Amino acid sequence: MDEAKKELVQSWLIKAEHDLGSAELLANSTTPYLDTAIYHCQQAAEKALKAFLVYHDIAFEKKHSLSILVDLCRQIDSNFQDFQDAASTLTPYATVYRYPGEFFESEPDPQQMKEALELARLILDFALARLPQDTRQ
């Protein structure tokens, strides 16, 4: 693997880790911001999946559907299919709590937040385990 590709994969993984770390900080602070934290869970999973796809030279659209990304990853490793339900759970968090208005919820409940953190961590860890050691920080 050339150095530029390795650095790009690493960049996606760093961003994924930062999103998950941000979600944990926001969710567990003395004044939790669950609406923002849950968004970062979706983002962490999205960026982890995209890191895997970049490593395998699979093009993807700039959309936030984790189900589409899981399907693309599944073409390389069929075990990604196990994350289709997680993808369906996390995908709406890219938008549902991000904006005010009648079509959007105001705040996730603590159980949703806990589940989102767990699912994002599972996806990130799974993607990391399928990438070479030299792409991980």
- pLDDT at residue number 101: 72
HSE-CB of 30 using CA atoms within 13 angstroms = 0
pLDDT at 137 over 80: no
- pLDDT at residue number 90: 98
Q: What is the pLDDT of residues 103-119, one digit of tens each?
A: 666 789 999 999 999 99
CB under 8 A, 24+ apart: contacts of 61-65 = 64/91, 64/94, 64/95, 65/91
Across the chain, where does the E strand assignment appear?
none
Whole-angstrom CA distances from 67 to 8, 83, 111, 121 are 22, 9, 22, 16
Q: Which helix (H) or strand (E) holds 114?
A: helix 110-129
Burial level of 75, CB count in 10 A (0-12/13-18/19+)?
Answer: exposed
- pLDDT at residue number 102: 63
pTM equals 0.94
Which domains does the chain show, CATH number per domain? 3-132 (1.20.120.330)
